[in-house]
Amino acid sequence: MNNQDIFKSGFIYTLGDFLSIGISTFLLLPVYTKFLSPSEYGIVSLITLYSTFLGIILMIGLQSSFSRYYFLCNNDERSDYLSSIWLFQLLFSLFFISILFFFNNYISSFLSLNSISDNPYFFFIILNSFLFFTSGFYSIWLRLNNKPSQFLIVQISNTLILFISVYILVVKLKLGVLGVVISNTISCCYLSIVAIIGLKKYFKFTLKSQYLKPSLKFGLWMMIGTLSSTIINKIQLVYLGVYTSMDIVGLLNLVLQISNILLIFSVSFGKAWQPYIFSSNNIQIAGARIKNSFLQFSFIILTATLLIGIFSKEIVTIMAPNYIDAIIYLKLMLLLSMLSTFNLFPSTILLYIQKASINQISTIASAILSLLLNYFLIVKYKILGALFSMCITTLFNLVLNYYLSNSNIVIKYPILKTIKIFSIFLFIYFLNIFLETYIITFFIYAVKILLIIFYFFLMVKFNFFDYKYFHNIIKYK
């Protein structure tokens, strides 16, 4: 797979993820902010967080293991490997969930989900968490087998089902929080059914320890790292729910949802790019491929960040007119989300050399730091404390990640070019904030367009944007 193949597949994955993740976290925001009160949106935010947290535990990192070890199996072994991983995860989930149901009342109270009496939220958290692995399994298999078109079809159909469910349950029937939760469950059920149908011919009722042992060893560290990553990025919602109000939880979650659009670009790039790295015959080839992709990735992420940042006021005004206070927080959060996406490179290096435990050291350390900072800062400074905590944690995590990866494989990143492209980006980004403050609204849109044109002019001038390269990729067949 060459750079052209990566870009083409990455474009399809990006489109599929935007239709799926973008709809649920971005394009449905106007519906949620109109038909849910800020407090109700805060409740939805916590329910989603708890479902994700429990789902990560139930997956025990086996999705990541499957992605990593799939290529190490020959064609005859892959069916047994898939079956062993899938069956073990299902059995483990059933065992874990059966224990949770014995503590239903205690856990529901502990998670602050009794704000509405006799609510069924705990049941849906359990159900969605149980479906977490299976609902995403088929998409991973499609990616590993280089089937981006089928991946896109699955994502489009799931997006339509989610959109129709929200329209019926939230807009028409006005079920509020419950309507949103049921809609998400319908989406998970659909993806799980598709996975069962799509992979049933490869599934056998078999559990082979030679596949499970390395996968569990690798996956457990990935699970710990993913839990830690969730703590870094989302635990602020829990603290705000305890020390402020659900309205504030909803406000911060809105900011997180919009800024996380950047993760679509990062994750989609990784879906096409990581198999390319993992298929490298040796460390030298992998290192060269990583280095050669760094500036391309930087250009994509910085451009996306700039465009969202420049039009952040308009985005919030259209998507959530009752959350105008979120604009200034969004501009800061975009920068933090942008920095977070660059963890893709050091994490991929450590995954390639099968040192998942090292890969998670920085994430675990950052999660501990986040828990401590949030406790001290949110109690006193509320939402500003949450943002300040995320700023410190993000920088700490990024620096430690690159240090640990370079301690194992030295990648000579293009540092000078990276400094130049970041300098251009930051200059335009903060110039826009300054001009928005002091220029009359009537003229600001013309100024924003000029800033974007100026940005691309500088990218071309300093050879960060190669028109012929992208033109050839688009025409590539």
Mean pLDDT of 165-179: 95
Q: Tell me if 131 sits within 8 A of 188, measured CB to CB.
A: yes
- Of 206-210, 262-266, 317-321, 440-444, the poorest mean pLDDT is in 440-444
Question: What pLDDT is stored for residue 471 in this prediction?
Answer: 44
Question: What pLDDT is stored for residue 277 in this prediction?
Answer: 81
Question: What pLDDT is stored for residue 376 in this prediction?
Answer: 93
d(CA 392, CA 389): 5
d(CA 205, CA 142): 21
Mean pLDDT of 211-227: 88
C-alpha count within 13 angstroms, C-beta hemisphere, residue 229 = 19
* Residue 5 binned pLDDT confidence (cut-offs 50, 70, 90): low
The pair of structure tokens assigned to 58 is 């139930």
Mean pLDDT of 351-374: 86
- Of 418-427, 444-453, 466-475, the poorest mean pLDDT is in 466-475
- Of 12-21, 81-90, 166-175, 354-363, the poorest mean pLDDT is in 12-21
* Residue 194 binned pLDDT confidence (cut-offs 50, 70, 90): very high
pLDDT digit string (tens) for 35-89? 999 899 999 999 999 999 999 999 999 888 888 788 788 888 888 999 999 999 9
In order of 52, 57, 98, 256, the CA distances from 102 in angstroms are: 20, 18, 7, 33
Between these two residues, 392 and 278, which has the higher pLDDT value? 392
Q: Is the pLDDT of residue 107 over 80?
A: no
pLDDT digit string (tens) for 147-161? 888 888 888 899 899
Between these two residues, 439 and 356, which has the higher pLDDT value? 439
Mean pLDDT of 191-212: 90
Residue 352 neighbours by CB under 8 Å, 6+ apart: 277, 278, 280, 283, 286
* Residue 247 binned pLDDT confidence (cut-offs 50, 70, 90): very high
pLDDT digit string (tens) for 382-441? 999 999 999 999 999 999 999 998 888 888 888 999 999 999 999 999 999 998 888 766
Q: Which of 14-18, 214-218, 422-426 has the highest mean pLDDT?
A: 422-426
Percent of the chain with pLDDT over 90: 44
Long-range contacts of 428-432 (CB under 8 A, 24+ apart): 428/306, 428/454, 428/455, 428/458, 429/305, 429/306, 429/309, 429/310, 429/335, 432/309, 432/310
Mean pLDDT of 175-181: 94
Average pLDDT, the chain: 85
Question: What pLDDT is stored for residue 384 in this prediction?
Answer: 93
The pair of structure tokens assigned to 201 is 């011919």
* Residue 476 binned pLDDT confidence (cut-offs 50, 70, 90): very low
Mean pLDDT of 354-372: 86
Q: Is the pLDDT of residue 203 over 60?
A: yes
Question: What pLDDT is stored for residue 167 in this prediction?
Answer: 95
Residue spans of the domains in the chain: they are 3-475
d(CA 124, CA 131): 11
